[in-house]
């Protein structure tokens, strides 16, 4: 990345205060920035750092009013939303990096596989028969792409990702290191001898466009049909998505959440970390679920906020927690204090 403040401001829709010719070559935290760095001030708790930062330019809110003198070397770029502008700058910087192209001589690409223009396939990656990788994909080292897999244009697969047979990934997705797409669902049928017979998992996983799948996240193939991750879904690290789950568009799920089989989570939901979903339930669109909650039944009302195990509307949950503390106080702690006073 090497850009002037003027060019950057034009790209992100900002206005400049200071030198428009200052050259920026990196993006850094406000308290660690050096000369040539772009930084940002989105949370006013960190305002103090802007008066001492060594950054050459800072993204600030349009209505930011300094309470002290700013460093003479600092150029301000005023924007409507500093954090959104910071994210846009990061995306632009990442896009400007030069990625390699071509197929490593150490990769194993089946002769029947199709690889589009301007793709990179790293060393020790395996692409099996009938797979199709569209233009501009970055497939890094030690990736396994199974038979008949489809990967859309501009998608990035980081190291040691596995995409098993006949799964599909849309365009402009990012699959982080160690993710497994399309392993068998957890399907077993008890038999008369008291053992469990495996139920073959013959479906696939279908991931939409602009999705991100975190490191070591696992998405199981469907028993029949597809496990579906719709457009714009973001899954954090170490999430388990079971067979025949459907996750609606633009839903975000934090780390270590588990979703049991055949559950549907609607669009535009936000799920905290370590949430557990029972199987065969449905969660409506726009629902927010607090971390470590347990979803044991369907949530039919859209746009609600839920917490607890078993989960309930957050106001009810918090009221119960307050009442429980008061009850413990009344039944136990007050009596202990009275007894201590009596004994003393």
Residues annotated as catalytic are 243
Rounded to whole angstroms, how far apart are CA atoms 237 and 315?
A: 29
Rounded to whole angstroms, how far apart are CA atoms 238 and 251?
A: 16
Helix (H, G, I), strand (E, B) or coil at 3: strand
Our measurement of the distance from residue 19's CA atom to the centroid of its chain's CA atoms, rounded to an integer in Å, reads: 36
- Cβ-based neighbours of 195, under 8 Å, separated by 6 or more: none
**Long-range contacts at 82-91 (CB < 8 A, ≥ 24 apart):** 82/40, 82/41, 82/42, 83/40, 83/42, 85/12, 85/13, 85/14, 85/40, 85/59, 86/27, 86/40, 86/42, 86/59, 88/11, 88/12, 89/8, 89/12, 89/27, 89/38, 89/59, 90/27
CB atoms within 10 A of CB 191: 9
Tokens standing for 174? 């990012």
Rounded to whole angstroms, how far apart are CA atoms 217 and 6?
A: 40
Q: Determine contact, residues 223/206, Cβ cutoff 8 Å.
A: no
Place of tokens 């034009």: 10
User: What does residue 93 show for φ and ψ, rounded to 5 degrees?
Assistant: -65, -40
Place of tokens 């669902």: 185
- Cβ-based neighbours of 62, under 8 Å, separated by 6 or more: 15, 78, 79, 80
Give the DSSP per-residue string, 263-331: -EE-TT-EE-TT-EE-SS-EE-TT-EE-TT-EE-S-B-STT-EEETTTTEEHHHHHHHHHHHHHHHIII
Tokens standing for 107? 């990769």
């Amino acid at each position: 990345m090497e850009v002037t403040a003027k060019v950057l401001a034009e790209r992100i829709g900002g206005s400049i205060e200071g030198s428009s010719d200052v050259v920026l070559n990196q993006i850094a935290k406000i308290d660690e920035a050096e000369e040539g760095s772009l930084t940002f001030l989105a949370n006013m708790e960190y305002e103090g750092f802007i008066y001492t930062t060594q950054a050459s330019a800072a993204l600030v809110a349009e209505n930011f009013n300094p309470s002290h003198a700013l460093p003479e070397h600092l150029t301000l770029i005023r924007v409507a939303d500093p954090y959104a502008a910071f994210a846009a700058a990061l995306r632009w910087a990442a896009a400007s990096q030069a990625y390699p192209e071509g197929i490593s001589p150490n990769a194993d690409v089946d002769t029947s596989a199709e690889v589009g223009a301007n793709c990179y396939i790293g060393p020790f990656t395996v692409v099996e028969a009938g797979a199709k990788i569209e233009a501009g994909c970055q497939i890094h080292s030690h990736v396994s792409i199974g038979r008949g897999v489809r990967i859309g244009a501009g998608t990035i697969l980081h190291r040691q990702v596995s995409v098993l047979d006949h799964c599909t990934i849309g365009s402009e997705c990012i699959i982080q290191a160690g993710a497994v797409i399309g392993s068998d669902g957890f399907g077993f049928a008890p038999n008369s001898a008291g053992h469990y017979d495996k139920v073959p998992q013959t479906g696939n996983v279908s991931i939409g466009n602009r999705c991100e799948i975190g490191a070591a996240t696992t998405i199981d193939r469907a028993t029949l049909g597809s496990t579906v991750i719709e457009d714009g879904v973001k899954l954090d690290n170490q999430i388990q998505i079971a067979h025949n789950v459907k996750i609606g568009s633009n839903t975000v799920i934090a780390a270590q959440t588990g979703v049991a089989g055949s559950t549907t989570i609607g669009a535009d939901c936000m799920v905290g970390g370590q949430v557990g979903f029972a199987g065969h339930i449905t969660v409506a669109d726009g629902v927010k679920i607090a971390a470590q909650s347990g979803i044991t039944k369907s949530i039919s009302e859209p746009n609600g906020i839920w917490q607890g195990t078993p989960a309930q509307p957050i106001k009810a949950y918090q009221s119960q927690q307050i009442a429980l503390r008061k009850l413990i106080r009344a039944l136990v702690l007050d009596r202990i204090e009275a007894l201590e006073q009596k004994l003393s």
